[in-house]
């Protein structure tokens, strides 16, 4: 029992460590393969150096920016976009921090949304995974409120005791705990999420 507790603690300590084996984004790989600098690409495409840096850090290019970069590099636009199931290159330590930051505030929404958002902006991690992490918390909070209100209505309608509401609250809290921990395992193992939606609210 003591050994299991130690292993579990070690796992969570490992989750907070930054993965130093960062790989390059697609744009950076293509740019360096063509042996051109960010400044040269900016001049050729009309896209600012700052925007190119953000894209290479994980932000997905869209619209005019995507078309301009693809044209300047003489490649298809899809070549600069990540496939749905492709791992996003990012600082895993920050991903884990954003993921776990929602847990302490699950009982006082919307802080479970606001705190991860603040970390995301402070760390400048704007990619599909960080957006998904916040979106999941937004969707969970909306569903939790709906389920809680429905349970309260049924309690009064069916004349149930107050313990039924407590059971619903515990279930909701445990569901978010499971989502966060399961995604943490997947981030640690494969650098992506286990639970993810097909849309992003932010």
Domain boundaries, given as residue ranges, for the chain: 23-80, 90-190
Residue 128 confidence class, pLDDT cut points 50, 70, 90: confident
Range 114-141 average pLDDT? 93
| Token pair in block for residue 88 | 């996003």
pLDDT for 126: 85
Is the pLDDT at 5 greater than 60, yes or no? no
Is the pLDDT at 45 greater than 60, yes or no? yes
Q: What DSSP character marks residue 89? A: P
pLDDT for 164: 86
Q: Which of 129, 139, 128 is nearest to 193 (CA)?
A: 129
Over the range 17-52, which residues count as b (16 or more CB within 10 Å of their CB) and which as e? Answer: eebeeeeebbbbebbeeeebebeebbeebebeeebb
The least confident of 27-31, 111-115, 116-120, 138-142 is: 27-31
pTM of the model: 0.58
Q: Cα(95)–Cα(105) distance, rounded to whole angstroms?
A: 17
Average pLDDT across the chain, whole number: 83
Residue 61 confidence class, pLDDT cut points 50, 70, 90: confident
Residues 49/63, Cβ–Cβ less than 8 Å: no
Residue 15 confidence class, pLDDT cut points 50, 70, 90: very low
Q: Cα(159)–Cα(35) distance, rounded to whole angstroms?
A: 72
Residue 26 confidence class, pLDDT cut points 50, 70, 90: confident
Q: What DSSP character marks residue 76? A: -
Residue 90 confidence class, pLDDT cut points 50, 70, 90: low
Q: Cα(114)–Cα(122) distance, rounded to whole angstroms?
A: 12
Q: Cα(62)–Cα(46) distance, rounded to whole angstroms?
A: 14
Q: What fold, for 23-80?
A: 434 Repressor (Amino-terminal Domain) (1.10.260)
């Amino acid at each position: 029992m003591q050994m299991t507790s130690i292993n579990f603690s070690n796992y969570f300590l490992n989750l907070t460590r930054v993965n130093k084996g960062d790989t390059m984004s697609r744009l950076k790989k293509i740019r360096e393969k063509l042996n051109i600098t960010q400044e040269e690409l900016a001049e050729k495409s009309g896209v600012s150096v700052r925007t190119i840096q953000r894209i290479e850090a994980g932000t997905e290019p869209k619209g005019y920016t995507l078309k301009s970069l693809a044209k300047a590099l003489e490649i298809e636009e899809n070549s600069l976009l990540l496939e749905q199931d492709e791992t996003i290159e990012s600082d895993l330590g920050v991903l884990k921090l954003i993921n776990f930051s929602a847990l302490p505030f699950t009982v006082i929404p919307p802080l479970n949304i606001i705190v991860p958002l603040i970390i995301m902006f402070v760390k400048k991690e704007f990619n599909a995974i960080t957006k998904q992490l916040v979106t999941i918390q937004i969707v969970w909070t909306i569903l939790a409120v709906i389920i809680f209100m429905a349970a309260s209505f049924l309690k009064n309608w069916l004349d149930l005791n107050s313990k039924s509401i407590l059971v619903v609250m515990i279930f909701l809290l445990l569901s978010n705990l499971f989502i966060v921990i399961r995604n943490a395992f997947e981030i640690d193992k494969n650098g992506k999420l286990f639970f993810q939606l097909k849309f992003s609210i932010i």
